[in-house]
Amino acid sequence: MRYLVENFAQVMGITATHIYLAMTPLLPALAIAIPVGALVRRAAWLRRVTVTVASLAYTVPSLALFVIIPPLAGLSAIDPLNVIIALTIYSTALLVIAVPAALDSVPATVLDAADAVGYGPLRRTLTVDLPLAVPVFVSSLRVVVVTNIAMVSVGALIGVGGLGRLFTQGYQRDYPDEIVAGIIVTLALALAADRVVYALGRWSTPWVRADVRTKGAGS
């Protein structure tokens, strides 16, 4: 704790970099995973293939990706984009599995009602399926966010900034206080990010809050 107090401004600067590296991959991952997940859900064989490919992609060690990506993308090994691309791959792999699972949670009666009033496949997906799948999807998104925060630390092994620097520097200097500071801030950041995503999920699904209040009043 002493290191954290004495170097608070420096640690906050590193934390800002860590947040950037962890959160930026979510944007392209969501842009890819939501439409792909919605499409593969309609074909069982395509869904199985997608899940298999995504699972295999997620099993590739992050350090191996950090080594493979630079020559393929024409980047420097210490370019932050290296970490962003790797985490985009991992985030997409997890979310493309989560989207069909979330869509499966939408009650069949609701889907039948939408079909009955003349909703086409695209309109139903955008206005019925996806909104009602948000609560389940947010649970998976929380996992992805926390996982990204943890995995950014590995980037310190190739010289990319982030809270992982506190681990590597603390180890090299034999300074446990620096390592402990890194652990504390990483845990606090993961907890804060998880709460933010949870709050956004609650805010975007007012009907869920209303249902909870109705059940509470009824009991």
Under 8 Å between Cβ of 63 and 157: yes
- pTM of the complete model: 0.87
Residue 204: helix, strand or coil by DSSP? coil
Q: Is the dihedral of CA 193, 194, 197, 198 positive or negative?
A: negative
CA–CA distances in Å: residue 202 to residues 130, 134, 137: 15, 9, 12
Q: What phi and psi values does residue 105 have, to the nearest 5 degrees?
A: -80, -10
Segment 147-169, tens digit of pLDDT: 999 999 888 878 787 888 888 88
- The predicted structure's pLDDT at residue 5: 81
- The predicted structure's pLDDT at residue 217: 52
Under 8 Å between Cβ of 190 and 151: no
One-letter amino acid at 111 equals L
One-letter amino acid at 73 equals A
- The predicted structure's pLDDT at residue 23: 95
Segment 76-97, tens digit of pLDDT: 878 889 999 999 999 999 999 9
One-letter amino acid at 44 equals A
For residue 191, give both structure tokens: 């907890």
Under 8 Å between Cβ of 164 and 152: yes
Return the HEC string of 64-89.
Answer: HHHHHHHHHHCCCCCCHHHHHHHHHH
